[in-house]
Homo-oligomer: A and B are copies of this chain.
């Protein structure tokens, strides 16, 4: 058996998220598994680094799977890209030690939430940004972001109904980057709860638009109450940039 790591980019617009689900026919994992099934002649299960929600994009999602094969990593990559749709690309295939697992060993993830700040539409990137229509106060957002970084129970910033497992995560940094037509929120952490990046983005955006004060951005860290955090911003603005091991 060989163990492989895939690095995958996708435009998530028309997918029901990463994870294969019984009732959602169009998922990124499902599409990749279908092509691998064709290549190997039998069912292959892949393990993503984690789920991405419906409509969320990825530049560097990762996944692993084991297979008995004489194909080289590069042959696999070319074969996958030949049969995958144009909005999913396998940018790298690597052979890994037997113990490698894309989800269990993920140490660090980077997400970016892209806010379009002009009062005209983003004609080139509109599938990948969320339009705010005005420049928020980035300095206030940076101050609020600082209060959210560190090791905390982030359940107040997630859409989890109830959590069986720990909801403590370390958010290493949140950078607020002025990129001309866009303001980018770059999140680096050891793991992200369901909707966490989108809810923190919504909370920081409220600060930037003067709808919430800086201490208010961090309130849900102590109350653990979803009602104390901001809105869940739309999926289209979020991209999983990379996963580190």
Contacts and interface: CB of A to CB of B under 8 A. Distances in A.
Given A86-B126, A126-B86, A81 B11 contact: no
Interface of A, secondary structure class, is: loop
A101 interface: no
Interface of A: 9-11, 57, 59, 77-78, 81, 86-91, 118-126, 128
A124 B128 contact: yes
A81 B121 CA distance: 8
Contacts of A86: 121, 123, 126
Given A91-B118, A118-B91, A123 B81 contact: no
A191 to B, nearest CB: 25
B9 A119 contact: no
28 contacts: A9-B120, A9-B123, A9-B124, A10-B123, A11-B123, A11-B124, A57-B124, A59-B124, A77-B120, A78-B119, A81-B119, A81-B120, A81-B121, A86-B121, A86-B123, A86-B126, A87-B121, A87-B126, A88-B123, A89-B118, A89-B121, A89-B122, A89-B123, A90-B120, A91-B118, A91-B120, A124-B125, A124-B128
